[in-house]
Chain A
Amino acid sequence: MKGAYLRTCCAPRSLRFFLRCVLVFSSRGGTRRPAPKKRGFSGSPLHAWLASLAVKYAPRAPRKKPRPRVARDGSQTRPVASALLVFIAVGVIEQGCTRASGSDDAGKIHIVFKHRPLVGNASVFRERLADFRRAHPEVELTTEVLPNVADITHQYYFTALAARSRDIDVFVADIIWIHEFSRAGFLRDLSSEFPPADIKRDFIEGAADAVIADGRTFAVPLYIDVGLLYYRTDLVPQPPRTYDELEAFAKTAKYKDPSLSGYVWQARQYEGLICNGFESIWGHGGVTTQGDRVTLDTPEARAGLDFLRGLIVHGTSPASVTSAMEEESRRVFEQGRAVFMRNWPYAWTEMQKEESPVRGKVGVAPLPTITGDPGFSALGGGELVINAAAPESHLAASIDLVRTLTSLDANIAFAIANGQPPPRKAAYEDERLKTQAPFIASLEPVVVRARPRPVTAYYNMISDVMESEFSAIVTGIRTTPVAFGRAQMAIDRITQ
């Protein structure tokens, strides 16, 4: 019987063939063109070292074999060919490094501003950037858009900043990252330009708390987000103030039209589920932090999550909420297929568009609570921060960019254009906002009551734990006592 060896030696052979092709191709014609010189690099020690390596290790004609194989115009070309290969490699590496070196064309300061995709009317934001460019002819401003997924963006910044990347000057960070990033030393201390006392005086309390760590300012709020209850004015007599009312109204509406869903919200395993969960915990009278400790395993918290699970069990919410994010909920509600929806303010702008089937039939209210008081929304939002590793020469312009984008005027302009609540208190008293964006101005009571998720440097680690346990509860895999026991144990280990 023959052996059944698996031949695995084909890889080196094909590699050799590939290299031969490259060598023959690059030395074709016999003319030895000098390798293109790379500006700013050819004189460096690294370049000299690589070139010497290329000469030293270039394949030579084998001496021991009687009849060496020779490239078409002689084996002499091989050192040149491999030097070319090295130059190509160096060119690629150099392309990847130019930005990191911070070299500026014609003495201009090159500022890189990274943000997530703009919502609403993006032209207003671009106008502000154009204003900045006009005011700073010495600055070359580049904007780069990152994916619209918070987790992926976080991972991007996390790895880039941990490697002390100088590629980023100013960027928009999520409200929940500030304490983590500042503790890690990623963010520049802005206390002298934006004193903590001023921030506390000018901005909504929750937004100010999120950007101040250890009495120092590390970020300036750009916009804020709050959870809201959307309801159909044609299906519901009045906005529900308690959870019982919400379930009862949904039931009545569903009785009249069985194809309707009652209450859509976000229960996919991601950060939005934590916001929904915390809002329900607060609505049931729960407190999620005691001093520095994040306390999850409390009777109120169990009641809060049991309520969310109950919504699905009783049929008030469709089972599909367990894989829904904001956009999935919005689509269902906007097509007129749901009575209630929990979502952020951006959804309002979408509902008011000409083609929206529910236009004029939507009302917005604070989230319900168990007692009937207005509910507490989870506070979200974006903050402008400056990379601590960015070159010192970029600082003045970077700070001015932050100032330009977070001024009261900018706050109001973005609120009107994008439908996101402004973080400055004064904006809500402004006539422009009241007349041009009355909806945003009307959110002030909700905004003031909004609560931040636990403010801790370990938030990202904790949220990973909470996501999975909350998801286990709402999908019915684990009961609240079991899931909260597991979560509390993991949280205590992280924050030990």
Chain B
Amino acid sequence: MTRARSEDTRCYFFVLPAVIVIAAVAVYPMIPAVWISLRRVIVVFHEDHFVGLSNYAFLIHDPRFWTALGNTAYFVLVAVTIELLLGLGFALLLHTSFRGQKFFRVAILIPWAIPTVVSAKMWAWIWNPEYGLVSRLLPGSEMNWLGMPGYAMHAAILVDVWKTAPFVALLLLAGLETIPVDLYKAAIVDGASPLRIFFSITLPLLRPTIVVVLVFRTLDAFRVFDAVYVLTGGGPANTTETLSIYAYKMLMRAGDFGYGSTLAVVTFLCVMAISAIYIRLLGMPTRNIRI
């Protein structure tokens, strides 16, 4: 008994350094952010006074916030879905053995290796209505992709998919590698069709990896900033403005630290909620993976 208890305390002792680091790096900056969000702070004008929850009260009625939240949710939903499907396709293709398999495994990672700002700028040129590649390839009507509401958001989603589908493919490929070959051999002996094999063996055994991919990508996409900001700056008419861009504009451009922090805190709460939902619905990812 005593030995077990001393082992228990030793466990806490081992975890302590990690907890301290997380507290210093993640928790500590959060506390001032929450505190500032309760104040009206405009640093350059030396305005700094406590306003309670009035920033949050304004946020509830701020249509621009709801638009930004809607944009973000739409971006996450569409981008992550496409990335997952495309990534799964790539992973399955690369998992089969063929000539040049290693070459393609490396080649597919190139978009992921390019810094987001660079790839966003590159795509901005590709979509340029006057001398862009897209308007050259699609002759006839001159399409102003990034200037038209509705189109601009999908252009941004495409950039994100182009960049992160390889990352998803890489994670899923790692998951595929862990599925024992014996299972497939047995299935073939039993005369199962490839479709049946996919749905009865590959997909269930890949589920833990898919959960990790979903959590990674959703949380990442929810905080999307650089890809959209470089591509459209949030325009036209804020139809591509995500929560991060709105918070950035409030903080850095307008210098309204109070309301900007309110937006940042709310973004954080949204991300927390999404994580909680994932863990509740799909179980703790690590517990499933470690077998």
Q: Which A residues form the contact surface with B (CB < 8 A)?
A: 1-6, 151, 155, 158-159, 162, 180, 183-184, 186, 268-269, 319-320, 322-323, 457, 460-461, 464, 468-469, 471-472, 475-478, 486, 489-490, 493-494
Docked-complex contact A471 and B235, CB < 8 angstroms: yes
Docked-complex contact A269 and B236, CB < 8 angstroms: yes
B251-291 interface (Cβ within 8 A of A): 252-256, 289-291
Q: Given A4-B289, A477-B237, are A319 and B144 also a contact pair (CB < 8 Å)? A: yes
A478 and B129 CA atoms in complex are apart in Å by: 25
Docked-complex contact B256 and A494, CB < 8 angstroms: yes
B23-66 interface (Cβ within 8 A of A): 43-45, 58, 61-64
* B175 within 8 Å of A (CB atoms): yes
CB-CB under 8 A from B139, the residues of chain A are: none
CB-CB under 8 A from A490, the residues of chain B are: 62, 64
B167-224 interface (Cβ within 8 A of A): 171, 174-175, 178-180, 205, 208-209
Q: Given A1-B178, A1-B291, are A468 and B64 also a contact pair (CB < 8 Å)? A: yes
Docked-complex contact A151 and B237, CB < 8 angstroms: no
A285 and B16 CA atoms in complex are apart in Å by: 69
> Interface residues of B, CB < 8 Å — how many?
41
Docked-complex contact B253 and A460, CB < 8 angstroms: yes
Interface centre among B44, B64, B148, B290 (most CB of A within 10 A): B44
Chain B residue with the shortest CB-CB distance to A462: B254
Docked-complex contact A468 and B45, CB < 8 angstroms: no
Give chain B nearest CB distance to A457 CB in angstroms.
7
Docked-complex contact B238 and A464, CB < 8 angstroms: no
Q: Given A4-B175, A320-B144, are A471 and B254 also a contact pair (CB < 8 Å)? A: no
When A and B form their complex, which 5 residue pairs have the shortest distance between CB atoms, in order from nearest?
A323-B147, A184-B44, A472-B237, A269-B235, A471-B237
Give chain A nearest CB distance to B146 CB in angstroms.
7
Known: A1-B179, A159-B252, A269-B237. 19 other contacts (CB 8 A): A1-B180, A1-B205, A3-B178, A4-B208, A6-B171, A158-B44, A269-B236, A322-B236, A323-B236, A460-B254, A461-B254, A461-B256, A464-B249, A464-B254, A468-B237, A471-B236, A471-B237, A476-B149, A490-B64
Can you list 17 pairs linking A and B with CB atoms under 8 Å apart? Answer: A3-B178, A4-B208, A4-B209, A4-B289, A6-B171, A183-B45, A322-B147, A323-B236, A460-B253, A461-B256, A468-B241, A471-B235, A477-B149, A489-B61, A490-B64, A493-B58, A494-B256
A5 and B241 CA atoms in complex are apart in Å by: 36
B255 contacts which of A158, A320, A469 (Cβ < 8 Å)? A158
* B233 within 8 Å of A (CB atoms): yes
* B239 within 8 Å of A (CB atoms): yes
CB-CB under 8 A from B209, the residues of chain A are: 4
CB-CB under 8 A from A477, the residues of chain B are: 149, 237, 239
Interface contacts (Cβ under 8 Å), in number, total 98
CB-CB under 8 A from B142, the residues of chain A are: 320
A162 and B46 CA atoms in complex are apart in Å by: 11
Docked-complex contact B237 and A323, CB < 8 angstroms: no
Chain B residue with the shortest CB-CB distance to A493: B58
A1 and B149 CA atoms in complex are apart in Å by: 49
A158 and B251 CA atoms in complex are apart in Å by: 12
B233 contacts which of A158, A269, A489 (Cβ < 8 Å)? A269
Q: Given A183-B45, A323-B129, A486-B63, are A3 and B147 also a contact pair (CB < 8 Å)? A: no
Give chain A nearest CB distance to B131 CB in angstroms.
12
A126 and B45 CA atoms in complex are apart in Å by: 36
CB-CB under 8 A from A6, the residues of chain B are: 171, 174
Docked-complex contact B45 and A323, CB < 8 angstroms: no
CB-CB under 8 A from B238, the residues of chain A are: 269, 468, 471-472
Chain B residue with the shortest CB-CB distance to A474: B237
A249 and B194 CA atoms in complex are apart in Å by: 69
A435 and B271 CA atoms in complex are apart in Å by: 66
Give chain B nearest CB distance to A481 CB in angstroms.
13
Give chain A nearest CB distance to B231 CB in angstroms.
13
Docked-complex contact A475 and B256, CB < 8 angstroms: no
Chain A residue with the shortest CB-CB distance to B44: A184
CB-CB under 8 A from B179, the residues of chain A are: 1
CB-CB under 8 A from B61, the residues of chain A are: 489
A268 and B147 CA atoms in complex are apart in Å by: 8
CB-CB under 8 A from B205, the residues of chain A are: 1
Q: Given A323-B236, A468-B64, A471-B237, are A5 and B254 also a contact pair (CB < 8 Å)? A: no
Q: Given A162-B44, A320-B144, A477-B239, are A2 and B178 also a contact pair (CB < 8 Å)? A: yes
CB-CB under 8 A from B255, the residues of chain A are: 158, 460-461
Docked-complex contact B253 and A151, CB < 8 angstroms: yes
Chain B residue with the shortest CB-CB distance to A476: B149
CB-CB under 8 A from B239, the residues of chain A are: 477
Docked-complex contact B64 and A323, CB < 8 angstroms: no
CB-CB under 8 A from A2, the residues of chain B are: 178
B236 contacts which of A159, A183, A475 (Cβ < 8 Å)? A475
Docked-complex contact B291 and A268, CB < 8 angstroms: no
Chain A residue with the shortest CB-CB distance to B249: A464
Docked-complex contact B291 and A3, CB < 8 angstroms: yes
CB-CB under 8 A from A162, the residues of chain B are: 43-44
A489 and B65 CA atoms in complex are apart in Å by: 13
A460 and B291 CA atoms in complex are apart in Å by: 57
CB-CB under 8 A from B252, the residues of chain A are: 155, 159
Give chain A nearest CB distance to B171 CB in angstroms.
8
A323 and B235 CA atoms in complex are apart in Å by: 9
CB-CB under 8 A from A323, the residues of chain B are: 129, 144, 146-147, 236
Give chain B nearest CB distance to A309 CB in angstroms.
12
CB-CB under 8 A from A319, the residues of chain B are: 144, 148
Docked-complex contact A475 and B149, CB < 8 angstroms: yes
A155 and B148 CA atoms in complex are apart in Å by: 27
Q: Given A151-B253, A490-B62, are A457 and B174 also a contact pair (CB < 8 Å)? A: no
A1 and B182 CA atoms in complex are apart in Å by: 11
A2 and B175 CA atoms in complex are apart in Å by: 10
Give chain A nearest CB distance to B111 CB in angstroms.
20
Docked-complex contact A5 and B235, CB < 8 angstroms: no
B178 contacts which of A4, A155, A159, A468 (Cβ < 8 Å)? A4
A477 and B171 CA atoms in complex are apart in Å by: 40
Give chain B nearest CB distance to A319 CB in angstroms.
7
Give chain B nearest CB distance to A444 CB in angstroms.
36
Give chain A nearest CB distance to B25 CB in angstroms.
16
Q: Given A1-B178, A5-B289, A490-B62, are A320 and B237 also a contact pair (CB < 8 Å)? A: no
CB-CB under 8 A from B233, the residues of chain A are: 269
A183 and B255 CA atoms in complex are apart in Å by: 13
| B 146-159 binary contact with A (CB < 8 Å = 1; else 0) | 11110000000000
A478 and B238 CA atoms in complex are apart in Å by: 12
A5 and B178 CA atoms in complex are apart in Å by: 10
Chain B residue with the shortest CB-CB distance to A465: B64
Give chain A nearest CB distance to B155 CB in angstroms.
13
A319 and B129 CA atoms in complex are apart in Å by: 12
A180 and B290 CA atoms in complex are apart in Å by: 58
CB-CB under 8 A from A478, the residues of chain B are: 237
Chain B residue with the shortest CB-CB distance to A461: B254
Give chain B nearest CB distance to A311 CB in angstroms.
16
Give chain B nearest CB distance to A454 CB in angstroms.
15
A475 and B254 CA atoms in complex are apart in Å by: 24
